[in-house]
Each structure stands twice: as C-alpha cells, then as structure tokens.
Amino acid sequence: MKTTSPLTLGEFIIDKQADFQYTSGELSRLLSAIRLAAKVVNQEVNKAGLVDIIGAMGNQNVQGEEQQKLDVFANEVFIAALNNREVVCGIASEENEDFISVRPGENSQKSKYVVLIDPLDGSSNIDVNVNVGTIFSIYRRISPDGTPVQLEDFLQPGNKQVAAGYVVYGSSTMLVYTTGCGVNGFTLDPALGVFYLSHPDIKIPFKGKIYSINEGNYIKFPQGIKDYIKYCQEEKEDRPYTSRYIGSLVADFHRNMLKGGVYLYPSYSHAPKGKLRLLYECNPMAFLAEQAGGKASDGFTRIMDLNPTELHERTPFVCGSIEMVEKVEEFMENARRNQ
Ligand code: AHG
Ligand code: MN
Ligand code: MN
C-alpha cells in the first residue's frame, strides 16, 4: 500500500500547462472536460446489468454497425461536456455522420481545438461485463479562429495531434493520455471520484510476447499477416509468443502497452482497409504508442503520416512494441515482393 498521496489528474493537468508555450489554459480546460465526461460514463458502465442500459438501440450508426444504448449515452455525455463548456470549436464522433460545429458562445469563437472521439469502444462487450473504453484525439484547427470549423480541420494527419488518450472502463477505470511529452496513466478512485497518477511515464517494452488479432478471420488475411501468425506459433526457442484478444481495442492496446505486445487489425478480403477508423481509433493509439516508445503502422507506412480524406475512413492497423511491429512489416514486405 502506498503511503504518499499521488498527484490527481486535475493537479497534473495544471502542473503541465506550463509545458506549452503561450498557453491560454484552453487545452487544460478541454482535458478537464474529458475527465468529467469519463467519470459520468464510468458511473453508467458500472451500472450495466442493474439498469436498462445494456443491449442494442435497434438502429445502426453511420458505419452500418449496430448501435448499443451505451454508445448513444457515451456519445451524448462527451458531446455535452465539450459543447457546454465551449472548450472546442468542433467535434467529430464515430456515432455522428458529420462533424459538429460548436454553437457560438462566449468562448467558443476563440476556441482553437477540435476533438475526434470514439465515445464507446468495444461496445459489443458491454453486455458481458468485459472492458470497454473511450478514445480521443485533439488537433489545433487550421481554418481561421472565430469562423465555423471546416472538414479540413478534422482531416489532418496524426502527426499534427496535440493530445490523445483513452479511458479504459475495467476492473479499475483508467485515463491514459499524452500531450506529446510522454504518456501518463491515472486510476480512478471510485469512492472519491478522483483520478490519481498511478502510471507515470509509461514505456512500452521494446520486445513483447503477446500478439492480439482476431484469428477467426485468418483465412481472409493478407499473406504477410498469415505468415506472421505462423511465425509466432512455430515452436522455436526464440518464439515466446502467446495470443490475447479481448475485442476492445482500448483494452487490448492498454494490456500490450504495459506488458509488451503487438495489436493487429489487418485488411481482409471483404474489408480492404480493415475495420478500425483512422481518425479516432488508430491515430490516437499511434500517438500514444510512439510517445511510449512503440510504433504504429498500416503494415507498410507510419499511421501518423497517412493523409486522411474522409472522417470515418478505415485503415489496417499494427501497433505496439517496436520489434514486433517491425517484424510484421518485414513479413508484409516479403509477401508483397513474392506476389
Ligand atoms: P467500436 O465498438 O467502437 O465499434 O470498436 C470495436 C472495434 C475495436 O474495439 C475492436 O478491437 C474491434 O472492433 C474488434 O473487432 P472484431 O470483432 O472484428 O475482432
Ligand atoms: Mn472503437
Ligand atoms: Mn465505438
């Protein structure tokens, strides 16, 4: 049991504000709004099974995926927290076809940030009491301040991200984020409703043992991915690999970041760009991975250098320990050469 009192997320955000030149405190207010929304969603996730919050809404989102009640709830909570506080000028969400231009208010005209969000990640897991999460990505707008946000403000490459993070609602609830100066993790004390710094300066191990992929799709994977899986499975002294796949990107990523490993969601025959969304799933995770000393790629190219053309575009995704991601890239390249 720790005896010293760790920093709270609120204190940490204020302490770190000085790292940004010419800061107006706007990013701090934005992160605080996310922290608040995360606590509200956490409360509701924890009640799943007791109140009528689990199950499907009976309709599909813009991606043609079945919306869960908690998808809709989390979406509303995050949008309200960001909108009402006027800490952003625009919001794009997995659950909304178009981006939202934050209505003009006292401060919103001056707000220079846009947020892209996956309000509830892994929502198909909620009914069975398995971890879900929230993923967010923050950019500085490129259109002029004080004017309505434009699509171009959201379609920026990941290397322009100002901050990114996730919340994992799990056996304990954590908020993990980066502003480009390393990665820090905060654990929620549910009794006090306060996030405390529990995982300072997270570093992903250079090598790992875990590979995480939906092997049910094996037959449809590109040859390079099939070869990589076989490589991991071969019984050799230098292959300590084991497979772990929850089916919630946030939870799979979080585990691999702490333990070392690689997460893969490749393209497959019916989905040439895979399943995961570049702007609010892959880019924020890629930023976190790199800030923790890891790597993220689409199999050939750095995720954060991809130039998005659509709000909800997808990309194959390979992310985690450097050595493992590079091994996947090697197999992809070999398969391409032998085509
Ligand atoms: P979401 O719930 O936001 O739609 O995301 C689900 C994603 C991701 O969290 C997970 O890793 C992946 O879908 C799982 O997909 P499969 O079931 O195809 O493996
Ligand atoms: Mn998701
Ligand atoms: Mn989602």
- For every residue of 19-41, DSSP letters joined together read GSTT--SHHHHHHHHHHHHHHHH
- When comparing pLDDT for 50 and 45, which is higher? 45
CA dihedral in degrees (177, 181, 182, 184; nearest 10)?
-40
Confidence at 22, pLDDT banded by 50, 70, 90:
low
Report residue 106's pLDDT band, with 50, 70 and 90 as the boundaries.
Answer: low
Give residue 49's pLDDT: 67
Choice from 214, 252, 277 to test ligand 1 binding pocket (greatest atom count within 8 A of CB): 214
| Look-up of token digits 């800061």 | 23
pLDDT recorded at residue 302: 98
Rg (CA), the chain: 20
CATH numbers and ranges of domains, the chain: 9-199 (3.30.540.10), 210-337 (3.40.190.80)
Classify strands 90-93 and 100-101 as parallel, antiparallel or unpaired: antiparallel
Which percentage of the chain shows pLDDT scores above 90?
76
- Name the residue of 60, 124, 279, 317 to mutate for ligand 1: max ligand atoms within 8 A of Cβ: 124
pLDDT single digits (tens) 84-95: 888 899 999 999
Strand (E) or helix (H) holding 261: strand 261-265
* pLDDT averaged over every residue in the chain: 92
Phi-psi label, residue 3: left if phi above 0, alpha if psi -120 to 50, beta otherwise: alpha
CA gap 303, 297 in Å, rounded: 5
Measured CA to CA in angstroms, residue 280 lies from 48, 264, 299, 333, 339 at distances of: 25, 16, 19, 27, 32
Those residues whose C-beta lies under 8 Å from the C-beta of residue 60, and which sit 6 or more positions away, are 66, 67
Q: Under a CB-based contact definition with an 8 Å cutoff, are residues 185 and 175 in contact? A: yes
Of the ranges 52-61, 95-104, 147-156, which one carries the lowest mean pLDDT score? 52-61
pLDDT at 85: 82
Nearest atom of ligand 1 to the alpha carbon of 63: 4
Compute the distance from residue 71 Cα to the ligand 3 centre, in Å.
6
Nearest protein Cα to ligand 1, atom 14: 247
Query: What's the rounded Cα separation, in Å, for the pair 315 and 298?
Result: 7
> Tell me: the pLDDT tens digits for 198-252?
999 999 999 999 999 999 999 999 999 999 999 999 999 999 999 999 999 999 9
Assess whether pLDDT exceeds 70 at residue 29.
Answer: yes
Alpha-carbon span 251 to 245, nearest angstrom: 9
Q: What is the pLDDT of residue 2?
A: 54
**pLDDT at position 165, please?**
98
Do 16 and 23 meet the contact criterion of CB atoms below 8 Å apart? no
Lowest mean per-residue pLDDT among 46-60, 139-153, 265-279: 46-60
Q: Which residues surround ligand 1 with Cβ inside 6 Å? A: 65, 94, 118, 121-123, 214, 247-249, 275
CB burial string 142-177: b at 16+ within 10 A, e below: eeeeeeebbeebbbbbbeebbbbbbbbbbeebbbbb
| CA 15/CA 288 separation, integer angstroms | 20
Give pLDDT, residue 215. Answer: 96
Q: In whole angstroms, give the CA distance from residue 278 to residue 284.
A: 9
Instruction: Please identify, by atom number, the ligand 1 atom nearest to the C-alpha of residue 248.
Output: 9
The pLDDT of residue 128: 86
Write down how long the chain is.
339
Question: Greater confidence, 176 or 58?
Answer: 176
Say yes or no to pLDDT of 104 above 90: no
Contact of 70 with 44, CB cutoff 8 Å: yes
Give the pLDDT of residue 41. Answer: 95
Query: pTM value?
Result: 0.94
Q: Tell me: pLDDT of 315 over 70.
A: yes
pLDDT for the residue numbered 190: 92
Residue 194 pLDDT: 95
- Ligand 1 center to residue 132 CA distance, Å? 10
